[in-house]
Amino acid sequence: MKQAVTVTGMVLKVAPIGEYDRRVVILTKEIGKISAFAKGARKPNSSLIGVTSPFSFGQFTLYEGRSSYNVQNVSITNYFGELREDIEKAYYGMYFMELADYYTREHNDELLSLKLLYQTLRALGQGNIDYSLIRAIYEMKMISINGEAPQVFHCVRCGRKEGLMRFSANSGGNVCEECASQITELQTMQAATLYALQYIVQSPIEKIYTFALMEDNLKELKEIVRRYMQVYVGKDFKSLEILKTLV
């Protein structure tokens, strides 16, 4: 048996294995996304029964077997209990974790993705920001930190920095007035919406949930992100389909 390692991370998803075990996917600070087996975690008296569930964040002591990690001990620092007690928050959180699972890779450097997920779940749990704004911010920031950010600081066609009040998902960002006639698929936006987009793309993760938007600006932002997600992600998420029936 190899030496045990301790990592900091969050459980993204869980699946039953056999009669008593669980397979967990953990997004970690040190070694990226990993899969691990929690033996006996489904037994009523197991010390792993509550700590190997989605939203659990803390320190995981693992030892490496022949083909996967095995969970030896867990010390949880945040269960995000407020998400477990509210069905709408729970499904938003499940969607955020599903998107993180989609984007992250095993044994890759996923520190920024973990930080973003943690800060997003904190913002969701606090309930001070519109949930749909949290979703739009999270989606755009997750895309951005994975190298597919839209160009929102100058025109994607000519490089001009003025008059960027139109957005083209297919072209990959904002378009100036002069170039707008060359593109058929465009969405207009107000200045506050543009500033919000720029803020999301360039700001540190710790500061992205520090603003609010007027209803019309939020509507514009949500539509921009929705179209961009269609182009650059283009995947159906199970938790999102359920969430649509709740909101």
Residue 28 predicted with pLDDT over 70: yes
Average pLDDT over residues 33-49: 92
Same domain? For 126 and 174 the reply is yes
Please indicate, yes or no, whether residues 12 and 91 belong to a single structural domain of this protein: no
Tell me the per-residue pLDDT of 11-20, one tens digit each, with 9 for 90 and over. Answer: 999 999 999 9
Print the domain residue range for 38.
Answer: 5-79
* Interval 148-182: pLDDT, tens: 999 999 999 999 999 999 999 999 999 999 999 99
64 and 93 inside one domain: no
**In whole angstroms, what is the distance from residue 75 CA to residue 169 CA?**
43
24 and 115, same domain (yes or no): no
**Number of folded domains in the chain?**
2
Same domain for 144 and 236:
yes
The answer to whether residues 17 and 101 belong to one domain is no
Share of the chain above pLDDT 90, in %: 85
Gap between the Cα atoms of 20 and 14, Å rounded: 13
Tell me the per-residue pLDDT of 189-210, one tens digit each, with 9 for 90 and over. 999 999 999 999 999 999 999 9
According to the model, what pLDDT value does residue 23 have? 95
Per-residue model confidence (pLDDT) at position 236: 87
d(CA 92, CA 39) in angstroms, rounded, equals: 29
d(CA 190, CA 167): 11
Separation between Cα atoms, residue 138 and residue 123, nearest integer Å: 11
Same domain, yes or no, for 153 and 58?
no
Decide which of 36, 64, 79 is a domain's last residue.
79
What pLDDT sits at residue 1? Answer: 52
70 and 140 share one domain: no
For the chain, the residue count is 247
- In angstroms, the first-to-last Cα distance of the chain is 49
Dump pLDDT digits (tens) for 62-117.
998 777 899 999 999 999 999 989 999 999 999 999 999 999 998 899 999 999 99
Residues 35 and 112 in one domain: no
CA-based nearest residue to 35, from 70, 1, 75: 70
- Quick one: 68 and 98 in the same domain? no
Q: Which residues contact 141 (CB under 8 A, 6 or more apart)?
A: 116, 200, 201, 205, 208
CATH, residue 191 = 1.20.1440.120
Q: What is the CATH number of the domain that holds 38?
A: 2.40.50.140
Q: Is the CB of residue 25 less than 8 Å from the CB of residue 35?
A: yes
Q: What amino acid occupies position 65?
A: G
Whether residue 156 is found in the same domain as residue 72: no
Instruction: Verify that 110 and 227 share a domain, yes or no.
Output: yes
